[in-house]
Amino acid sequence: MADLKPILLVEDNPNDLELTLAALADSKLANDIVICRDGAEAIDYLYRKGEYEAREPRDPAVVLLDLKLPKVDGLQVLERIKGDPRTRAIPVVMLTSSREESDVVQSYNLGVNAFVVKPVGFKEFFDAIKDLGVFWAVLNEPPPRGGEWASNG
């Protein structure tokens, strides 16, 4: 399964991280899960800098991105990803406890692919993460690598 793209999980809350990993494991995805605990680390991973300089040059299948992160917040990470032609086709799901309308609007204005509010209940959260993982890692058909995904019309 070497051709499977990893899932990049950017989450600083240890409880949400543990639950997210358990839900992804329960969905039986074969994708590796890469964990970054702040926005700066996520940017380093995506652009192969710092400790990630030697990693395989393969984009993640999806970035599950928390909104409120230390160092560089989720909106700044999203803006960097979607503002760069090298990374803009990577699907990004904002996974947050924020229900602030301004966060939703700003995320979509920056190009987020989905905005998911973390359910409060354990089972609802677990099921939502399982469904997200399966959709983005298995069902979603990404644009071909190097292919033009934006309309030229």
What's the rounded mean pLDDT across residues 72-95? 95
pLDDT of residue 27: 80
Report if residue 128 sits inside a domain: yes
Kindly report the CATH number assigned to the domain that includes residue 91.
3.40.50.2300
pLDDT of residue 138: 61
Mean pLDDT value of segment 7-22:
91
Q: What is the Cα Rg of the chain in Å?
A: 15
Based on the structure, what is the number of domains in the chain? 1
What is the extent of the structural domain holding 86? 7-138
DSSP state of 103: H
Asked if the structure places residue 46 within a domain, the reply is yes
Give me the residues paired with residue 63 across strands: 8, 92
Residue 49, C-beta contacts closer than 8 angstroms, at least 6 positions apart: 43
Tens of pLDDT, residues 27-63: 877 889 999 999 999 999 999 999 999 998 889 989 9
Stretch among 17-31, 80-94, 104-118 having the lowest mean pLDDT: 17-31
Q: By percentage, how much of the chain surpasses pLDDT 90? A: 53
Query: Is residue 71 in a domain?
Result: yes
In a domain, 125, yes or no: yes
Question: In this structure, are residues 112 and 92 in contact, taking their beta carbons and an 8 Å threshold?
Answer: yes
Residue 152 pLDDT class (50, 70, 90 cuts)? very low
39 within a domain of the structure (yes/no)? yes
**Structural domain includes residue 147:** no
| Residue 143, domain member (yes or no) | no
Q: Once rounded to an integer, what is the mean pLDDT over residues 123-149?
A: 65
pLDDT reported for residue 129: 77
102 pLDDT higher than 70: yes
State the Cα–Cα distance between residues 101 and 44, nearest whole angstrom.
29
Contact 16, 6 (CB under 8 A): no
Is residue 2 pLDDT above 60, yes or no? no
Does 133 reside within a domain?
yes
Listed in sequence order, the residues at least 6 apart from 31 whose beta carbon sits closer than 8 Å to its beta carbon are: 4, 5, 6, 7, 61, 133, 137
